[in-house]
Amino acid sequence: MSNRFEGRVAIVTGAGNGLGRAHALGLAARGVKVMVNDLGGARDGRDASTSPAEAVVQEIRAAGGEAMANGANVARFEEVQAMIAAAQNAWGRVDILVNNAGILRDATFARLSLDDFWAVMDVHVRGTVNCTKAVWDLMREQKYGRIVLTSSASGIYGNFGQSSYGTAKAAMVGLMNVLHMEGDKYDIRVNVLAPTAATRMTAGLIPEHAMKLMAPESVTPGVLFLVGDDAPSKVILGAGCGVFTRNFVYETEGIYLPESERTPEVIAARFAEISNAERLTALESATHQTLRFVDKATAAAKTAYDQ
């Protein structure tokens, strides 16, 4: 992997504090020109201000880097388009997009208002789609792009009281899977980061002793890996406390049931076989799963015929 990224241009959303700030500073330290996007304001995203983004820009410039602040609301496509245009006008291209902006509205599903549910979806899902859509054609034309979507263990595994956040973060995996395929021939590599870090969003949720281990800067090397020239694609990278992992989605071998046995009772009786994890398949696509099922059914039918 390249150690530096001179000449590259990056946009990092939600970069005024926490993880986004660490990512912006990390990219700038490698020679990347960085558009630092942040609405500013309180933990819930209200009281918008570009001052946090401007403070990060000043840090970058003081260290000899090049950066601009931007206060676009990622949930509003026209503002995102203007942000991308500003980056293009200043630097001629956009090579890297780190979708990091997010908010929390934690509550059990019984107590969660629909307004709060959709507010979280707007920032995480609509915001990520807006930013990615705004750079997609540009990256296709220049035949180069590196995109990071920020997920979470809350979406991959679940977390009590985070139905809205978990839903939004699980969506990142589905979006990555498809964009990886559609961007492949244009050298657009799309990956998911599943970080854990001490930020404004986790304030009050994480024990104090754990917070000290969870510096956002411990996650950023994973982002730098995912946006380098030699980056992989379609990777879910876990990162936090200096620990890095890779998450996979597998399918068990499964069993074929002849038509006479396709009942819920048989499935229940053989559920342990269905769940057997000794033979796992990492699927390349939804079509891969369909063809695997067809092959398994065809083989079973041939065996029955031969007998």
Residues taking part in catalysis: 165
> Distance from CA of residue 10 to its chain's centroid?
16
Residue whose C-alpha is closest to residue 239's, from 203, 191, 280: 191
Q: How many CB atoms lie within 10 A of CB 79?
A: 17
Residue whose C-alpha is closest to residue 170's, from 215, 214, 128: 128
Cα→Cα distances 90→9, 87, 167, 270, Å: 10, 5, 36, 62
Q: What are the residues facing 244 on neighbouring strands?
A: 239
> Distance from CA of residue 8 to its chain's centroid?
21
Residue with tokens 């150690």: 3
Name the maximum alpha-carbon separation found in the chain.
Answer: 78
Which residues touch 19 (CB under 8 Å, ≥6 apart)?
100, 150, 195, 197, 199, 216, 219, 220
Where b means 16+ CB within 10 Å and e means fewer, 91-124 reads bebbbbbbbbbbbbbbeeeeebeeebbebbbbbb
Cα→Cα distances 70→38, 51, 128, 192, Å: 6, 10, 16, 24
Q: How many CB atoms lie within 10 A of CB 140?
A: 16
Mutual angle of helices 51-62 and 18-29, in 10-degree steps: 30
